[in-house]
């Protein structure tokens, strides 16, 4: 894999990860969303007014564009598993930004993901 192809994959992954964090930020003050026939409109309107939601959606569109560019250069069997880097980024970012726990099991899983990405990138 060329450095430019890896850069495209990493850029797409990071954009996707930041999009996830923005979506989480958009609902963090709302708590668990309970949708019903009675409240679907108020919940939808409240979400529509969240700037973080719009940022997250915008970043998704950009990440898909970058991803398409990456797929034009790299086999999907190599590129797609690289998306798992996003799990690593989001785990640490969610810990830092939202106070989410990083248990021993989660850290072990992150280690396994990183080993897998390394092996895949070297193949």
**What was the pLDDT predicted at 30?**
81
Instruction: Count CB-CB contacts under 10 A for residue 68.
Output: 11
> Whole-number mean pLDDT of the chain?
93
**What was the pLDDT predicted at 122?**
82
Provide the terminal-to-terminal Cα distance of the chain, rounded to the nearest Å.
Answer: 9
**What was the pLDDT predicted at 65?**
97
**Distance separating alpha carbons of residues 44 and 98, to the nearest angstrom:** 23
Sign of CA dihedral 48, 52, 58, 59: negative
**Distance separating alpha carbons of residues 102 and 86, to the nearest angstrom:** 15
**What was the pLDDT predicted at 7?**
95
Q: Is the pLDDT of residue 32 over 90?
A: no
**Distance separating alpha carbons of residues 85 and 112, to the nearest angstrom:** 11
The pTM score is 0.83
**What was the pLDDT predicted at 123?**
79
Tens of pLDDT along 58-73? 999 999 999 999 999 9
Tens of pLDDT along 74-116? 999 989 988 999 999 999 999 999 999 999 999 999 999 999 9
Residue 25: pLDDT band with limits 50, 70, 90: very high
């Amino acid at each position: 894999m060329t450095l430019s192809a890896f850069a495209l994959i990493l850029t797409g992954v990071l954009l996707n990860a930041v999009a996830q964090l923005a979506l989480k930020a958009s609902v963090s003050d709302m708590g668990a969303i309970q949708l019903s026939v009675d409240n679907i409109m108020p919940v939808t309107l409240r979400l529509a007014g969240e700037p973080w939601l719009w940022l997250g959606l915008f970043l998704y569109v950009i990440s898909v564009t970058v991803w398409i560019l990456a797929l034009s250069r790299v086999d999907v069997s190599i590129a797609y598993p690289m998306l798992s880097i996003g799990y690593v980024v989001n785990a640490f970012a969610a810990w830092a930004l939202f106070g989410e726990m990083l248990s021993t099991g989660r850290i072990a899983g992150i280690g396994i993901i990183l080993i897998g990405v390394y092996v895949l990138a070297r193949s």
